[in-house]
């Protein structure tokens, strides 16, 4: 997320110059961070279920997937994404529009 903020400095500057508030930019990056981590969590859950079912079919070792563990895994993945997305989102929301528009990559 920190790289995403750095790469999109000009976009943030344009949004702020057109009237976006700090909270708008902060919310944009927090939603993006949460969405990316939730999608990653879903991919992990699907891979885990497929792996567990494959073990059951190949070895015959029974596996059972509890709904609470799937929900907890998705919650933890999203929470980690939001937690580590706060700093880059705050950094993006504090950018001065003039400085952001002047920046070169």
pLDDT above 70 covers a percentage of the chain that reads 98
| Residue range 15-41: mean pLDDT, rounded | 91
Q: How far apart are CA 72 and CA 67, in angstroms?
A: 9
| Per-residue pLDDT, 105 | 58
Task: Tell me how far CA of residue 100 lies from CA of 4, 72, 86, 104, in angstroms.
Answer: 14, 39, 19, 9
| Portion of the chain with pLDDT greater than 90, in percent | 45
pTM above 0.75, yes or no: yes
């Amino acid at each position: 997320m920190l790289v995403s903020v750095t790469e999109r400095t000009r976009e943030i500057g344009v949004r702020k110059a057109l009237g976006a508030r700090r909270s708008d930019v902060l919310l944009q990056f927090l939603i993006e961070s949460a969405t990316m981590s939730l999608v990653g969590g879903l991919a992990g859950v699907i891979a885990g279920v497929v792996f567990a079912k494959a073990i059951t079919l190949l070895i015959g070792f029974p596996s059972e997937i509890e709904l609470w563990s799937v929900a907890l895994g998705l919650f933890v993945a999203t929470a980690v994404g939001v937690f580590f997305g706060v700093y880059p989102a705050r950094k993006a929301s504090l950018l001065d529009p003039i400085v952001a528009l002047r920046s070169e990559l």
